[in-house]
């Protein structure tokens, strides 16, 4: 069953390629959605995909990006809407 996951990543995650690594991993897993920097210095991720894969994706967001220092990830879930056709970086 497809779900939507919204992550607010806090820590040292800007200026180190975090968004590019997240995009690559999300595409590898077949997710749709986006990743973008926030004005507060964090990163927002909206991903739609299989619920089990999304749970593993959270672990990647904590530990899978070299040079990132993730302090906290706030997460919320809902039903997938199918609003996205790809996984992109938003500016």
- Domain assignment of residue 86, yes or no: no
Other Cβ atoms within 10 Å of 58 Cβ, number: 16
Q: Say if residues 8 and 42 touch (Cβ distance below 8 Å).
A: yes
Q: What is the pTM of this model?
A: 0.97
* Inside any domain, residue 89: no
Which pLDDT belongs to residue 32?
A: 98
Is 85 domain-assigned? no
When divided into structural domains, the chain yields a total of 1
Closest CA to 34 of 23, 42, 21, 18: 23
Query: For residues 45 and 35, is the Cβ–Cβ distance under 8 A?
Result: yes
34-90 per-position pLDDT tens digit = 999 999 999 999 999 999 999 999 999 999 999 999 999 999 999 999 999 999 999
Q: Which residues are identified as catalytic?
A: 19, 37
Cβ(34)–Cβ(46) below 8 Å: yes
Give the pLDDT of residue 24.
Answer: 98
The answer to the question of residue 87 being in a domain is no
Check which CATH number belongs to the domain holding 47 and give it: 3.30.70.100
**Alpha-carbon 52 to chain mean position:** 15
Average pLDDT, integer, range 24-39: 98
pLDDT band (50, 70, 90) for residue 1:
confident
Domain hosting residue 71, numbered range: 2-77
The answer to whether residue 7 sits within a structural domain is: yes
């Amino acid at each position: 069953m497809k779900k939507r996951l919204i992550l607010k990543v806090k820590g040292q995650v800007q200026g180190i390629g975090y968004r590019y690594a997240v995009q690559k991993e999300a595409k590898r897993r077949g997710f749709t959605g986006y990743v973008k920097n926030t004005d507060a210095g964090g990163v927002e991720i909206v991903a739609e995909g299989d619920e089990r894969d999304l749970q593993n994706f959270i672990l990647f967001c904590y530990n899978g990006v070299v040079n990132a220092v993730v302090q906290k990830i706030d997460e919320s879930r809902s039903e997938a809407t199918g609003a996205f056709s790809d996984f992109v970086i938003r500016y």
